[in-house]
Amino acid sequence: MSVNLRKIDLNLLVIFEALYSTGSTSRAAERLGMSQPAVSNALARLRDLIGDPLFVREARGLRPTGKSHEIIQPVREALAVIGRHFVTTDTIDLATYNRLFRIIMADPYEPILMPSIVRNIAAHAPGIEIECVPATAQYVDDIRDGSIDLACFAFPTDTSDIVAKALCPVDFVIVSRRDHPEIRKPLDLETLRRLPQISVGHELRGLTGIDKNLIASGTHRRVPYMAAKIWSIPPMVQRTDLIGFLPRLFVEEIADNFELDVHEVPFAMPEQYAFLLWHVNSESDPGHKWLREQMLQALGAKIDGQ
């Protein structure tokens, strides 16, 4: 079915994008500063024009149809092009700005970055919402199709349409329960080889480079338990004889909550970085730029010890 473009109001595409991003008529209305009936009426008009329901209502919200998945990327690309050419300012009025940001946040950095950003939103930008979602193997595609606005992740991508900015070095330490009976300080390589370890699951474990560096140092580790999340490692270590590798910044952030000893890694590890990743179309988006700057400032304050 061909669509007469003269009949499509640009506002309908803006509303369609908001519905796709939020999965909810009410949240799309909040984001756009519209009433819920107005958003529903706009969706009904767009359904008639395109000849497809576009969204199916389910218990958890609106599920996009195949047609929605098909047209979302060109719609977003078109809105981005229009936005770049018609926006006359690179600033936003935080007091009236309404937007839901969907981001991937690596577990170690959520308690480091997000509290100060949430406080800033509460004080100055009440219309901004942030939803952290789990990372998947398709996270680059999610950034590309606009399902994800920003990712804070362990490694960059080499595709030309994804911007990757180094966020901070990732410096690993080893944690054990307080006064572990089999560890003499400093922790040596032989003890590291001998003690059972905890890590995250295979998919995330491969991203850290720890196993590769252990093998390069002539060391293989025994990992009888793999946790679903990094947050599970500190309490597991505290209550068992397992030891584990964790990023130093994360350990410093949660140290007061657990009875742990922290040990330096007894072999050389190449420097690694965490990265911020976003689509090139969002580079000049003032709201997106604001969120990126907030993350960089929050991390800078932590590193400087403020």
**pTM, entire model:** 0.67
Greatest alpha-carbon pair distance for the chain in Å reads: 76
8 A C-beta contact, residue 34 and residue 24: no
pLDDT computed for residue 178 by the predictor:
96
pLDDT at 49 over 90: no
Three-state DSSP string of the chain: CCCCHHHCCHHHHHHHHHHHHHCCHHHHHHHHCCCHHHHHHHHHHHHHHHCCCCEEEECCEEEECHHHHHHHHHHHHHHHHHHHHHCCCCCCCCCCCCEEEEEEECHHHHHHHHHHHHHHHHHHCCCEEEEEECCCCCHHHHHHCCCCCEEEECCCCCCCCEEEEEEEEECEEEEEECCCCCCCCCCCHHHHHHCCEEEECHHHHHHHCHHHHHHHCCCCCCCCEEECCHHHHHHHHHHCCCEEEEEHHHHHHHHHHCCEEEECCCCCCCCEEEEEEEEHHHCCCHHHHHHHHHHHHHHHHHHCCC
Question: What integer is the mean pLDDT of 40-67?
Answer: 90
Q: Is the peptide bond before 37 cis (omega within 30 degrees of 0)?
A: no
User: pLDDT exceeding 90 applies to what percent of the chain?
Assistant: 35
The b-or-e profile of 8-20 (16+ CB within 10 A means b, else e) is eeeebbbbbbbbb
Q: What is the pLDDT of residue 85?
A: 59
Do the two domains 99-169+273-303 and 172-270 of this chain adopt the same fold?
yes
Taking the C-alpha atoms of residue 155 and residue 272, their distance in angstroms, rounded to an integer, is 8
| Most confident range, picked from 28-32, 77-81, 196-200 | 196-200
What pLDDT digit, counting tens, does each position of 213-243 carry? Answer: 777 767 778 899 999 888 999 999 999 999 9
Fold of 172-270: D-Maltodextrin-Binding Protein; domain 2 (3.40.190)
Q: Which of 106, 108, 161 is nearest to 134 (CA)?
A: 106
Which residue has better confidence, 271 or 93?
A: 93
The CATH architecture of the domain made up of 5-86 is: Orthogonal Bundle (1.10)
Determine the pLDDT at residue 1. 47
Residue 296 has pLDDT above 50, yes or no: yes
Residue 45 has pLDDT above 80, yes or no: yes
pLDDT at 152 over 50: yes
Least confident span in 190-199, 206-215, 239-248: 206-215
pLDDT band at 35 (very low <50, low <70, confident <90, very high): confident
Does 33 or 286 have the greater pLDDT score?
286
- pLDDT of 201 above 90: no
| Separation CA 267–CA 219 (nearest Å) | 10
Domain extent listing, the chain: 5-86, 99-169+273-303, 172-270
Name the least confident of 109-113, 125-129, 215-219, 228-232.
215-219
For the chain, the average pLDDT equals 85
Kindly report, residue by residue over 158-187, the tens digit of the pLDDT.
Answer: 678 888 888 888 889 999 999 999 999 999
**Does CATH place domain 99-169+273-303 in 3.40.190.10?**
yes
Least confident of 27-31, 107-111, 277-281, 298-302: 298-302
CA gap 82, 79 in Å, rounded:
5
CA distance 17 to 27: 12
pLDDT score of 190 more than 50: yes
